[in-house]
Amino acid sequence: MQYLPKFLRRLAAAVLALAPLLAVAAGAGYARPELLIETKELAGLLEQPDVRIIDAASPAEYNRAHIPGAINLFYLTLADLEERKKTGQPLSNAGAEKIFGEAGIDENTRVVVYDGGEGPFASGVWFVLDFFGHDKVQVLNGGVRKWLKEGRPVTQDVPEIEKKRFVARPQPDRIVDLAWVKKNLRNRKVLVSDARSFKEYIGEDVRPGASRGGHIPKAMHLEWKKFTGKLETFKPAAEIEKVLTQRGITQDTKVISYCQTGIGRSTDVALALRLIGYDNVRVFTGSWEEWSADPRLPIEK
């Protein structure tokens, strides 16, 4: 390698450094492995100034212990119901710019978000950043549970954050609003999928924020847990695709994912599909909170 030009030596070194990560990704068969990051790679980025690590759990969980350098951004703070009703966006542009700017994120910041390893909390933060045009965001595969199992460090120290200028660039093709769902209920090219538990789906479990129990008419029950791995956040691509194929879902199917709040379980399904190359997926941001609140709208149980 010493006889190669300097830029080629650097390129070769970069490829060698990526080899372990690419091997993991290839083993899982993901079409977009860059949406995830492995614990080993994150461990080498803890001191990097252009990397922002986000713990998406509740403040109480974050305060107990978190990955060094991580800041807390509870995923539910990114779902403004009034904004979702008004524009379909999870947050207003101004709200997103304030929250993410204060979190020290600008267009050059690489963001790594994690939760307990289950996926919904981290996927919620990923989804909102992705919606507002930030393409440098990854979810930690296996989350803090895998991090701890590997004996990696945690802390209670809260880092000082320098504010940055975050510019919101909404991507409307990532979402649908209530009017869109109502208009497309009978559209055979659209599949509305319910990411909640089966008891919520059939109306036996009515959670706070929901006005009625049941589900959107003709919605397919596709619980987020169908895609979760044991130690990793997601199952391998072949297993995810098997779940979809059994339900007649292909890459051409327009999937509309919803849950209770429009962030969390629905966004986890969206991330799972995007991970394996199923890009024709959107999130109904108003979700069951908005649908169930209108007594004029039909429901099924």
Residues 285, 208 within the same domain? yes
In a domain, 167, yes or no: no
Q: Are residues 187 and 280 in the same domain?
A: yes
Examine the domain organization and report whether 236 and 274 are in the same domain. yes
How many structural domains does the chain have? 2
Inside any domain, residue 159: no
Please name the residues in contact with 282: beta carbons below 8 A apart, sequence gap of 6 or more.
173, 174, 175, 176, 254, 255, 256, 257, 270
CA distance 91 to 146: 31
Q: Are 139 and 228 in contact (CB under 8 A)?
A: no
- CA angle 295/173/188 to nearest 5° reads 60
Q: Which of 82, 115, 149 is the last residue of a domain?
A: 149
List residues bridging with 284 in a β-sheet: 176
Report the chain's mean pLDDT, rounded to a whole number. 92
Are residues 78 and 185 located together in one domain of the fold? no
Res 8 pLDDT > 90: no
pTM of the model: 0.90
pLDDT digits (tens, 9 = 90+) for 125-174: 999 999 999 999 999 999 999 999 999 999 999 999 999 999 999 999 99
Residue 28: the pLDDT is 84
Minimal CA–CA distance to 109: which of 71, 56, 141? 71
- pLDDT given for residue 27 in this prediction: 54
Contact in structure between 301 and 202 (CB atoms under 8 Å): yes
Decide: residue 32, CB within 10 A, 0-12 exposed, 13-18 middle, 19+ buried. middle
Let me know whether 100 and 46 are in one domain.
yes
Q: List the domain range (segments joined by +) for residue 276.
A: 172-293
Residue 158 located in a structural domain:
no
Contacts of 117 (CB under 8 A, 6+ apart): 142, 143, 144, 145, 146, 231, 233
Token pair recorded at residue 274: 């995007």
Q: What pLDDT, on a 0 to 100 scale, did the predictor assign at position 9?
A: 43
pLDDT tier at 20 (50, 70, 90 boundaries)? Answer: very low
Residue 71 pLDDT more than 80? Answer: yes
> What is the average per-residue pLDDT within 70-76?
98
**137 and 192: one domain?**
no
Structure tokens at 47: 């001191």
Higher-pLDDT residue of 27, 72: 72
- β-pairing, 137-140 with 190-194? unpaired
* 17 occurs within a structural domain: no
User: ∠ CA 57-61-66 to the nearest 5 degrees?
Assistant: 85
Residue 154 falls inside a structural domain: no
Does residue 100 sit in the same domain as residue 139?
yes
Residue 117 has pLDDT above 90, yes or no: yes
176 and 283 belong to one structural domain: yes
244 CB-side CA count, 13 A:
25
Region 12-38: mean pLDDT is 64
Question: Strands, E, within 18-64: which ranges?
Answer: 36-37, 51-55
Q: In this model, does residue 3 exceed pLDDT 50? A: no
Q: How far is the C-alpha of 84 from the C-alpha of 165, rounded, in Å? A: 24
Backbone torsions φ then ψ of 193, nearest 5 degrees? -120, 135
212 found inside a domain? yes
Q: Which of 100, 134, 149 is the last residue of a domain?
A: 149
Residue 120 in any domain: the answer is yes
The CATH code of the domain that includes 129 is: 3.40.250.10
The pLDDT tens digits for 189-207 are 999 999 999 999 999 999 9
pLDDT above 90 for 282: yes
Whether residues 220 and 126 fall in one domain: no
Percent of the chain scoring above 90 in pLDDT: 89
Are 244 and 275 in the same domain? yes
**Which one of 149, 181, 197 terminates a domain?**
149
Query: Are 114 and 67 within 8 A, CB to CB?
Result: yes
* Best CA proximity match to 257, nearest among 275, 247, 243, 271: 271
Residue 293 has pLDDT above 60, yes or no: yes
Residues 193 and 269 in one domain: yes
Tokens for 10, please give them.
Answer: 């650097």
Residue labelled with tokens 């895998």: 146
Q: Which pLDDT score is estimated for 187?
A: 94
Residues 181, 127 share a domain: no
Domain-embedded: residue 38: yes
Describe the chain by its helix, strand, coil percentages, rounded to 5.
Answer: 40, 15, 45
